Structure 1
Amino acid sequence: MPVEKLTPSGHDAYEAADSCAVLMAGRAVFDSQLGGPPDGRLPRYERELSALLDRYFVSRLSSTGAAGGKVALVATGGYGRGELCPGSDIDILILCRRSIPPQAIDLAQPLFLPLWDAGYALGHGFRTVGDCLKLAAKDHKVLASLLDARFVTGSEAVFAEMMERLEEKVLPRRGKAFADWLDTEHERRLASHGDGALLLEPNLKEGLGGLRDYHLIRWMLMCRFGIGCGLHAALRRVGFSAEDEALLRTNVDFLHDVRCRLHALTGRRSDLLPLDLQPDVARRMGYADGGGLLAVEHFLGELHRCMGSVKALALACREALAMNTSAGLSAEQVMQEATPRTVLSLMKQSAAQPEKALAGWRMRRSLVRLATERAAELAALPDLGPAFADLLSGGNAWDVFGRLDDTGLLSALVPEYGVVRDRVQFDGFHTYPVGLHTLVTLRHLEDSASAGSVAAELWNSLDTSGRVSVMFGALLHDLGKTGSADHSVTGAAVADNLLRRWELGDAQREEIVFLVRNHLLLSRTALRRDLADESVVARCAGTAGSMRRLDLLFLLACADARATGPRAWNSWISGLLEELYRKVRNMLSDSELGTPQAVSDMLSHYDMVRELVGRNGRRLPYTPEQAESWLERVPSRYMLSTEPEDVLRHIALMLRLERDIEDARRRLGEKRGANGVVLLEARDAGDVWELVFAAKDQPGLFSVLTGVLALHGLDVFSADAFVWGGGVVLDVFRVSPPPDPLYARDFWAKVRGSVHFALTGKLSLDFRLEEMRSRSLSPVQKAGGGRTEVTIDNAISDFYSVIDITAPDRPVLLYDIARTMQAMRLDIQFARIATHGMQTSDSFSVRDVFGNKLLEEQQCEEVRQALLHAVA
């Protein structure tokens, strides 16, 4: 049916047709348009659907010819507001004056049965005016629904009587309790649904910043100024401008657009926007990839900006009404005029006397308006640099910068921050948008005193200048996330321009710019490189250059990782960062940077192992002579990367392997004996489990191990491969915990058995893993495949070629990579597996079949193309 037939001008044609058929046809037109990007002609779905239902009820009631003058059909809830989304309930009330006449009951069948048959969800009822008033006086939810009530058809006098009595009898008595309930509802929503402006999966209706905040604004204003005041006039009475009202309307329309398309996608009422549907919603909203960002990232940035604005407007309304009530102030007094100098004074007072500054921050709406209307003046304020420095070193930066951000002042004072504030990285790894991530990083830095022994010691030893530098580094570290390839380099240039504008001293400016440029140095190295390789440590030491800068980098790296989310911070990652920090610090403490320490460190480890062997004596399952013979077989990298206590355990494991191989050879013969013999020692290491596999070196062993771990649903975080003398291998994996820790021993026995069967041809890993490999794509892949890249670097290590692989994560990916490397006859010496939500960044230290680095350009390109094919 053409859209124009649904407009009031086609009313006569509507009357002549079957009302329900016209309703369904009209809705089908709008539903079909929700399936793709808007073409500029899409009407406001929620309003058009409400209007269609109005015409349906008018026609149905008119056709019955019964009780039309004695009852009123009243829309409540979302239907009452004229905001019906595809999955919304239709709340309709048959309202009678004094009592419900018998013929009113007869209306139910012709009014409601066609809608039920068509699949609509109805919230309906028969009530008298008195019933409504009694319920509203007892139940705040009923009162809220009646505040949204709207006359549809029937007796308008009956509806008018109810609304007049509601305003005259109920609101004066229940208004205060209702306002308190609205405050309670705000806290309940925060506890139950979170802050929608900050979450990766926001609730579009109940989350803070969602549509319910708009409803609360309406209800608060009606409660204070009366139902008949109207939203436009009520907003003016609390100091909102025409621009504020327009912004609120625009944001509410945007949220309705998103909610309508979400309902259309799911085929039901749904308010939570899940990650896997966000790419489809973005496409239907008309967003496209561009500027280095995915379409879904553009969409989510706009959504977070929208919800943040709605949340701020609702909070400003609550505070304005509270001040008006408690202090008897007029709207003009509540919304007293703020100036750029007011902001600077507030910042300085917040640094010196935070408690006294609280009153000034209550001018929220005036500050929000100032941030919007006079942003250029704010960005050009003199003394911003010193004011920020005082705030950052005052110990309450999280609180004050949160207030600056909440009012929009931080984006106005630092426009570069405003550009990236609402950027969302669609990877399932980053918990917050860039703005909140920045603020949480500040908070974690201020909490460094209790974060851990190393961080606490460093934070407490910093002078004021050091704290200012690292806090500035945290504030500015992500300003380069504008879609550029390397946000650290871009961000350093942005930070340099800002700090020059603020006229910070050259020495401090250079230190802050250094921190921004290198804020990922330690975390990337710890998570992706072999920390037993001295050349890797030397590169970090050379970049840091001094103990002070290393200390600041370490504090910033820890706070940044903690603020990123639980997948970026756990005890294992913390331990890696501390290990790297200690090694770089030891190297910097030498009089000459880069002096080889590997030999002395290795000899020291040997001595400690021998001392432990002698001290434990009879408790060990081997003699000192046996231990010494095995120590002669261990590779140097193993000794540099393994704790002495672990070496003792591993020697015992190797002795057991030797005995098991000898026994197998006696039973199966010399040729078959060693095949499939594998030992597994599993140890709970906190957030991860450490698995140590011991086996005879044989082709494809590493790929078999990764395939079996994938088959059992385990995530691999790192892998070390050590070939000992005599042709035996010790592979050390750090993996996710078993599904049921109570039966961990049985689980690891199954894993070991699967490895044995795979090595002896009794288990086809390719066949078993095919189902896992063909599982549904991740949301990142649906959004456009994610980033896929393979690089081969021969400069990072003196001993290996380092292959870095970035790709969308999927089941069995590590096995496919390992199998490809096996086919290319590459020997994996070390692997670090870093899964960032739905994206993986893996690093492999490899050598060719002759034990050399990959130095031929043609060979490197062949390996790169083969791996790109494997991860596709």
Structure 2
Amino acid sequence: MTDGMVTRLTHTAVAGLTKADASAFESEMALVALGGYGRAELSPFSDVDLMFLYRPGARRGAEELCNRLVRDLWDAGLVLGSSLRTLVECVTLARRDLSVHTALLEGRHILGSSWLTGELRERIERLTRGRRADRFVEVMLLERAAEQARFGSSAHLLEPNLKLSKGGLRELHLIRWIAHVRYGVAGFDRLEQERLLSAEDAAMLAEAREFILRARNDLHFKAGRAQDVLTLHEQVRLAAAFGFRDRPGLLAVEQFMQRFYRHSSALEEVAERFVRRCRGSSLWRRLGRFLTQRRVNGQYVVTGGALAPVPEARPAVLSNLERLVSLFSLANQMGLEVDDSLWEQIRNAVSLLDGQDATAARRVFLAMLATPGHLDSTVRRLASLGVLEKLIPEFAHARGLIQFNQYHKYTVDEHTLLCVAHAEAFQDDPGPLGHAYRGIHHKEILHLALILHDLGKGFEDDHSALGYDIALRTADRFGLEAHLRDILVFLVRHHLLMAHLAFRRDTSDEQLLARFARSLDDVESRRARRALCPDHGKTDR
């Protein structure tokens, strides 16, 4: 529709030029769509970015055409972003300004000299050929990191920017730009055809794009202007517009936002995997990685700070839950990441592990939880790859689940993972909390309680009471001894007790404190409670 309007008004504007300037339009000038308009991804009130490209000898006619067309397009109601440039000016600006460079990468010919547009494309692509592509990708990633710092560096924000926050539409743009300079391919269909994206990742991108664009378009229509921030008020309205309805324990808006967070997390993860595969690596760096390889236990290899099974052992690891968890346990023990080349294979393999006995894998996981140091990154990776819910099935319900109020800043799964991170940080805390944490003999029970403590949310009944049942089932699945089961169940059932007393009761009441102390009937429970409670504010507010 926008192309049709631009085309009609351009023909009208060209007809108003002098005969010489009008005849020069087809050979000396070109109208080029840039940015979102160039990639055919306009929301209702997005800027329509147009560039008037011309040869130096056609400057007078280009200026006249630009003035006429900009006036007519504004009169027609378009929010216009326009520029008037020669080929040399385009290349000069692209060298200096990344936003100009990425906009020109997606330039699309509309009218005029197709040769001129083609020459522009050739010159812009020449800027990132060969090793120059590596530099371009690194600069682009730095710019994206700075953008996320301004608009939100988490895919679980309370009021996300649908375009610029982490997990927003910009992740799609990032994939397109990198694919363009690295492989000369931009469309997601082509990326899948060229095996640069797996079918699963391509499907996730398509579903996320459809959902987020629909929400963004609705925001624009409702506001009557460009509006990309998904406010709490708009979340309620959009939940109804998308057909969500309240159900016991879960509001319509919470269901809507859970769907959104799952899509934004998928965007974040696919973009992260794609970027890791595409980042350049020099010959010397690859040689250095090869020369510093070392084998561990005969079954694993450490390369460049990452752990992976040796090639001949990969099929066995990917097809067995215990071996898969053992890989992450060893990585945690050694302070390493599991090699990112395995992530996609693990994600695909996890769906094939349904029905496999998880008893041995749970023993390995529990032993890993007893060893702080790198639990934060390890447990987070297990969660993102879908492995954690094979060990604790109730975790699947918590993915992307939000409590719709001003108190909870994070989704339940993100809050849970942050709790583990904050607890683990007490290992190096010189204060009394660090002392209490280091004195816990069974840290695995504390960390397991942190993973479980909010998994009862999103249901009709009290989440602490439901957490009690979840903790009992988990204790049975993990084969915990009776006294460890009792500590786990107590911590989950009463995880709000200390916060409730601290903020809602008179802590100068000695009888109150005595009753509270008696409820913690052993030293291990008291230490665990002290480590469990203080992170409540840090992980929610």
Fold similarity call, TM over 0.5: yes
C-alpha spacing 1:296/1:160, structure 2 compared with 1 (3 Å): same
Unaligned runs of 5+ in 1: 1-51, 566-872
Give the residue type in structure 2 aligned to 1:555.
A
Matched residue SS, 2:109: strand
Aligned equivalent of 2:330: 349
1:368 aligns with 2:347: yes
C-alpha distance in 2 between matches for 1:169 and 1:559: 49
Aligned equivalent of 1:153: 111
Q: Check whether the contact 1:238–1:320 (CA below 8 A) recurs between aligned residues.
A: no
Counting only pairs closer than 5 Å after superposition, residues 32-431 of structure 1 correspond to structure 2 as 52-63=1-12, 64-65=14-15, 66-67=22-23, 68-70=25-27, 71-97=29-55, 99-168=57-126, 171-172=129-130, 174-227=132-185, 230-235=187-192, 237=194, 239-322=196-279, 327=286, 339-341=318-320, 343-355=324-336, 358-371=337-350, 373-374=351-352, 376=354, 380-395=357-372, 396-431=374-409
- Note the C-alpha offset of 1:119: 4.1
Matched residue SS, 2:363: helix
- Note the C-alpha offset of 1:177: 2.3
- Note the C-alpha offset of 1:109: 4.6
Encode CA deviations 1:501-557: one digit per residue, 9 max, x unaligned. 233333322321221111112222332234455665565455434443233233212
Q: Check whether the contact 1:448–1:456 (CA below 8 A) recurs between aligned residues.
A: yes
Q: Percent identity?
A: 30
Encode CA deviations 1:476-519: one digit per residue, 9 max, x unaligned. 11111122331011122122223322333333223212211111
Matched residue SS, 1:72: strand
Counting only pairs closer than 5 Å after superposition, residues 625-774 of structure 1 correspond to structure 2 as none
- Note the C-alpha offset of 1:427: 1.2
Give the residue type in structure 2 aligned to 1:289.
D
C-alpha distance in 1 between matches for 2:448 and 2:222: 44
Unaligned runs of 5+ in 2: 16-21, 290-310
C-alpha spacing 1:412/1:322, structure 2 compared with 1 (3 Å): farther
C-alpha distance in 2 between matches for 1:267 and 1:411: 43
Aligned equivalent of 1:525: 501
- Note the C-alpha offset of 1:133: 2.9
- Note the C-alpha offset of 1:91: 0.2
C-alpha distance in 2 between matches for 1:99 and 1:135: 20
Aligned equivalent of 2:471: 495
1:556 to 532, 535, 539: 532
Q: Check whether the contact 1:479–1:495 (CA below 8 A) recurs between aligned residues.
A: no
Number of residue-to-residue matches in the alignment: 502
1:458 to 425, 429, 436: 436
Encode CA deviations 1:632-660: one digit per residue, 9 max, x unaligned. xxxxxxxxxxxxxxxxxxxxxxxxxxxxx
Q: Check whether the contact 1:99–1:128 (CA below 8 A) recurs between aligned residues.
A: no
Q: Check whether the contact 2:128–2:136 (CA below 8 A) recurs between aligned residues.
A: no
Q: Check whether the contact 1:480–1:488 (CA below 8 A) recurs between aligned residues.
A: yes
Q: Check whether the contact 1:346–1:360 (CA below 8 A) recurs between aligned residues.
A: no
Q: Check whether the contact 2:10–2:69 (CA below 8 A) recurs between aligned residues.
A: yes
Q: Check whether the contact 1:195–1:202 (CA below 8 A) recurs between aligned residues.
A: no
C-alpha spacing 1:147/1:291, structure 2 compared with 1 (3 Å): farther
Q: Check whether the contact 1:364–1:407 (CA below 8 A) recurs between aligned residues.
A: yes
- Note the C-alpha offset of 1:433: 0.8
C-alpha spacing 1:53/1:97, structure 2 compared with 1 (3 Å): same
C-alpha distance in 2 between matches for 1:421 and 1:354: 26
Matched residue SS, 1:123: strand
Q: Check whether the contact 1:74–1:150 (CA below 8 A) recurs between aligned residues.
A: yes
Q: Check whether the contact 2:188–2:202 (CA below 8 A) recurs between aligned residues.
A: no
C-alpha spacing 1:165/1:54, structure 2 compared with 1 (3 Å): same
Give the residue type in structure 1 aligned to 2:412.
V
Encode CA deviations 1:110-150: one digit per residue, 9 max, x unaligned. 53223313443211122233432333234322221111111
Give the residue type in structure 2 aligned to 1:346.
L
C-alpha distance in 1 between matches for 2:52 and 2:449: 63
Matched residue SS, 2:226: coil
C-alpha distance in 2 between matches for 1:494 and 1:99: 76
Aligned equivalent of 1:477: 453
TM-score (normalised: structure 1): 0.54
C-alpha distance in 1 between matches for 2:110 and 2:426: 60
TM-score (normalised: structure 2): 0.84
C-alpha spacing 1:502/1:170, structure 2 compared with 1 (3 Å): closer
The more displaced of 189-198 and 337-346 is 337-346
Q: Check whether the contact 1:448–1:455 (CA below 8 A) recurs between aligned residues.
A: yes
Q: Check whether the contact 2:9–2:72 (CA below 8 A) recurs between aligned residues.
A: no
C-alpha distance in 2 between matches for 1:170 and 1:564: 43
1:505 aligns with 2:462: no
- Say what the alpha-carbon RMSD is for the aligned residues: 2.9
C-alpha distance in 2 between matches for 1:451 and 1:560: 17
C-alpha distance in 2 between matches for 1:320 and 1:170: 18
C-alpha distance in 2 between matches for 1:347 and 1:482: 30
C-alpha spacing 1:165/1:558, structure 2 compared with 1 (3 Å): closer
C-alpha distance in 1 between matches for 2:333 and 2:126: 50
Q: Check whether the contact 2:47–2:81 (CA below 8 A) recurs between aligned residues.
A: yes
C-alpha distance in 2 between matches for 1:450 and 1:177: 38
Q: Check whether the contact 1:193–1:207 (CA below 8 A) recurs between aligned residues.
A: yes
Q: Check whether the contact 1:398–1:443 (CA below 8 A) recurs between aligned residues.
A: yes
Greater Rg over alpha carbons, structure = 1
Q: Check whether the contact 1:92–1:122 (CA below 8 A) recurs between aligned residues.
A: yes
C-alpha distance in 2 between matches for 1:239 and 1:56: 36
Matched residue SS, 1:563: helix
